[in-house]
């Protein structure tokens, strides 16, 4: 099934009517379609990242973060994403995408998208993103304050802070390489 149809289907279900606490886990139920498959006849690794977009949209709508973004005239931007693949998802199988906020720092918000089948994680996509307006980046503290959350993030797991630092390191390296070119 084309991802645009999945997005429209999710929007037609009107997830913004089912308000969710920003620290809760939102759930989107889906089915694997033939166009989701690679040559091994299971969901292709790239499709997990694309499907995570739908889980993220559902989360942003249900938590009210989209209203906050509108007030700031900002759009959500994914800066980096990482995936862990554990089990196959095969054609016509049903699964769920469980999305939750892991926390934030001075620049980034961190979300986890867990792909669950039969109560077990088939894969996980973690992303760090920002809200960007015409005036620049909107600090995560401004977003979470508008959502009624404490400005201080829950403690981030060590693996997550190391991953974020490695992404920053790659950004520095890319800027240095571009400066030399």
Using the predicted structure, report yes or no on whether residue 14 has a pLDDT greater than 70: no
Closest Cα partner for 94 from 48, 32, 35, 38?
32
The pLDDT > 90 percentage for the chain reads 77
Residue 129: band (very low, low, confident or very high) from pLDDT cuts 50, 70, 90: very high
CATH of 3-154, one of 3.90.180.10, 3.30.70.260, 2.40.160.40, 3.10.129.10: 3.10.129.10
What's the average model confidence in pLDDT over 15-24?
A: 80
Using the predicted structure, report yes or no on whether residue 1 has a pLDDT greater than 60: no
Please say whether the beta carbons of 151 and 141 come within 8 A: yes
Residue 64 Ramachandran class (φ > 0 left, ψ -120 to 50 alpha, else beta): left
Q: What pLDDT is stored for residue 135 in this prediction?
A: 93
Domain boundaries of the chain, sorted by first residue: 3-154
Using the predicted structure, report yes or no on whether residue 80 has a pLDDT greater than 70: yes
Closest Cα partner for 23 from 172, 160, 158, 152?
152
Closest Cα partner for 78 from 129, 27, 7?
129
Whole-number Å distance between alpha carbons of 17 and 62: 7
Whole-number Å distance between alpha carbons of 124 and 104: 18
Using the predicted structure, report yes or no on whether residue 16 has a pLDDT greater than 70: no
Whole-number Å distance between alpha carbons of 50 and 125: 10
Using the predicted structure, report yes or no on whether residue 17 has a pLDDT greater than 90: no
Instruction: Please classify residue 12 by burial: count the beta carbons closer than 10 Å to its beta carbon, then call 0-12 exposed, 13-18 middle and 19+ buried.
Output: exposed
């Amino acid at each position: 099934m084309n991802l645009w149809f999945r997005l429209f289907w999710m929007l037609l279900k009107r997830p913004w009517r089912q308000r969710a606490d920003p620290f809760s886990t939102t759930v989107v139920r889906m089915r694997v379609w033939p166009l989701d498959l690679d040559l091994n006849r299971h969901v292709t690794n790239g499709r997990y990242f694309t499907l995570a977009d739908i889980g993220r949209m559902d989360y942003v709508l249900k938590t009210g973060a989209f209203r906050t973004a509108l007030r700031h005239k900002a759009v959500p931007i994914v800066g980096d994403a990482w995936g862990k693949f554990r089990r196959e998802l095969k054609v016509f199988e049903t699964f769920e995408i469980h999305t939750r906020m892991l926390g934030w720092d001075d620049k980034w918000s961190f979300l986890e998208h867990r792909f669950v089948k039969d109560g077990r994680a088939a894969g996980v996509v973690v992303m760090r993103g920002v809200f960007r307006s015409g005036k620049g980046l909107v600090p995560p503290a401004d977003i979470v304050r508008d959502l009624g959350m404490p400005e201080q993030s829950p403690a981030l797991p060590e693996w997550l802070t190391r991953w974020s630092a490695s992404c920053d390191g790659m950004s520095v390296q890319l800027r240095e390489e571009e400066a030399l070119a």
